[in-house]
Amino acid sequence: MPRLSLTINGRAVKARQGETILGAARERGIFIPTLCNLDGLKPLGGCRICLVEVRGHPRPVPACATKVEEGMVVTTDSERVVSMRRMVVELLLAERNHQCPVCVMNNNCELQAVARLLGIDHVRYDFIAPRAVLDISHERFGIDHNRCILCRRCVRVCDEIEGAHTWDVNGRGAASRIISDLAEPWGLSGTCTDCGKCVQACPTGALFAKGTETTGKGTICLEKLVAWRQRREP
């Protein structure tokens, strides 16, 4: 397979044709943060955490979804991309309801880890605080849309690896929601094989296995939580 030569952060790098910038950088120990990317799944380029500069391109490109080219000059740590990454994570935190101390994934969460890595100690944007629900109709798993960042790792792992294609995305923009089959309760799904791959693939506390509801700060009563989230407007 032909080898291509490029430059990443001023270092000469060799990469295979067809490889992504992310892959080439990793091979040389150059770290680029990612969220929607998961090894083994097709890249989506959705979250934009992995933005890098490529000389000659007016806008930064996602490293996970951009193939290397001969002579490419890539910068992964310019002030501009670092501030964009920060902005993206802050917007993700502002879009749903992320209260880490009462979340099943506290201290195991990739979103939290990226925020910590980027030194985010507060969010500059208004919190939208949407009314998002929980679905715990599945016997072993649950989905809490309050924590979902729409990375679609669940959608892709279910489709590409398990071959069940239970998950999809419904709606547009901030109103998008992950749905099971045709927006039915997960527990009633005719396609879900109960394999749990989506739960493993989810980077946040959105998809979880029942029985792991301990956050180290006490146990969450799922039934009460669902009743509170799903209550009718008074």
Partner 1 sequence: MSRIKLATAWLSGCSGCHMGILNLHGGLMELFQLCDLVYSPLADFKEYPAEVDIALIEGAISNRDNLEMARIIRRYTKKVVSLGDCAINGNVAALRNPGGKAAVLEAAYADPVNKPVVFGECVPPLFDKVLPLHQVIPVDAFIPGCPPEPEAIRVALHRVIERL
Taking CB under 6 A as the rule, does residue 196 contact ligand FES?
no
| Whether 70 contacts 4, CB under 8 Å | yes
Q: Which does 234 bind (CB under 5 to 8 A by kind): ligand FES, partner 1, ligand SF4, none?
A: partner 1
Taking CB under 6 A as the rule, does residue 178 contact ligand SF4?
yes
141: three-class secondary structure by DSSP = strand
Q: How many alpha carbons fall within 13 Å on the CB side of residue 80? A: 9
Taking CB under 6 A as the rule, does residue 201 contact ligand FES?
no
Find the DSSP H helices in the chain. Answer: 21-27, 79-95, 110-117, 153-156, 197-201, 222-230
Instruction: Kindly state the smallest distance separating residue 23's Cβ from ligand FES, in Å.
Output: 12
Q: In this chain, which stretch among 47-55, 76-84, 124-132, 148-156 interacts with partner 1, using CB under 8 A?
A: 124-132
CA dist., res. 222 & res. 135, Å (int): 10
218: three-class secondary structure by DSSP = coil
Taking CB under 6 A as the rule, does residue 52 contact ligand SF4?
no
| Whether 49 contacts 113, CB under 8 Å | no
Among 46, 177, 181, 184, binds ligand FES (CB under 6 A): 46
Among 102, 117, 174, 183, binds partner 1 (CB under 8 A): 102
DSSP-derived secondary structure letter, 205: S
Among 29, 58, 101, 216, binds partner 1 (CB under 8 A): 101
CA dist., res. 15 & res. 18, Å (int): 9
What backbone phi and psi angles, to 5 degrees, belong to 145? Answer: -65, -15
Residue ranges in contact with ligand FES by CB under 6 A: 34-37, 45-50, 62, 64-65
Residue ranges in contact with partner 1 by CB under 8 A: 93, 97-102, 121-123, 126-127, 129-132, 217, 228-229, 231, 233-234
Residue ranges in contact with ligand SF4 by CB under 6 A: 98-100, 103, 105-106, 109, 111-112, 143, 147-154, 178, 201-207
